[in-house]
Amino acid sequence: MICAKQVFRCFKWLERAGDALTGAAGPLFVGLAWILLSVGAVCFFEVILPTLRWPWLATPVCLLIAVNMFMHYYYVCTVRPGFVTDPPVQSDSGWLWAKRRKQSRSRPPTGVRWSEELHMTKPSLTKCKRCGEMRPERAHHCRICKRCVLKYDHHCPVRPPVPLLQRNAIDGLRINQCVGLHNERHFVLFLVYLSISSLCYALLGWDSAWKALGWYNDEWDSYTPEVAFLLIYLLAMVMAFAVTVMGGFQLLAVSNGETTVESQDNDQYRKIARSRGEAFANSYDLGRLKNLELFFNVGKDAYPLYTLVIPLRVEPYTDGRSWARRAGLDRHPGVRIGEELTDEDED
């Protein structure tokens, strides 16, 4: 028993050491990601775009996709995720901020902003065992930032929760901070536009790749070296698969009204409830369409739909201390008081 406990503590120490190392190397990963994204964009516009039909149509569409990819990556790296101790965030009037719909501008920002149709509840508060802060429901402690994050999803220097075969492909795409309430929208949109970009590169660059290999016996007339283009093309093919899987996983969680952490917790809740002959239900799940509408904060009482294709800053629909639930529910059915999963203890 003592030996097992010592082994467990040893693994915990190695885990914390790995967290510290990846946290310290975070800026390097971010710099590497900017370099790879920039080189990929240059290769596409210099080699692939001139070969496409209808350049008057392809050029603005490709530019829009590229701008969205870069801007959402910039946002997710620079926008704070929302720590429990942070003051409430208010939208700015700068040119990077989207404008709300006219009918919602005059409504005061309360727990849920600009909505009168949702069943809103104040979440329960618990004291974090690690930092000692009182935190609302859906907040979790980040062991790298050493702070509690509102609607915590994951910390990016730690590999995202995808299968092992796809991890190597996305190791460079890190943001050096948590994904939480205020930057999760930009994170998901970044994955969406990165997936589209990678797919376009892989599909539209097929002929250019064969040309770079000398298959057509044509002279290579681009400034980008053939070897550099082929390396980026191979990376784009892997990314097209890996990021699409990861982005699909994130969108599925969003459509279910849960974060990555909550999807794992909810699986445990279902097993516990099933063992008692009860049924678990996620009280935050308002239906796939409504969940997506609230996550991206678009629709009648929020921001226009064009904010999904124009990379502007958008506030979340809530301040992280009030949440929309199914009508008549104030907690998850099937989960009893005291059974809520919390962050693992350090020891």
Inter-axis angle of helices 288-296 and 184-204, nearest 10: 100
Helix (H, G, I), strand (E, B) or coil at 97: strand
Query: Of 142, 156, 178, 200, which residue is the catalytic one?
Result: 156
Told to judge if 156 belongs to the known catalytic residues of this protein, a careful annotator would answer: yes
**DSSP codes joined into one string, 101-131:** PHHHHTS---SBTT-SSSEEEPPPEEE-TTT
The token pair at 193 is 């536009």
Burial 48-87, CB ≥16 within 10 A → b, else e: bbeeeeeeeebeeebeebbebbbbbbbbbbebebbbbeee
Active site residues: 156
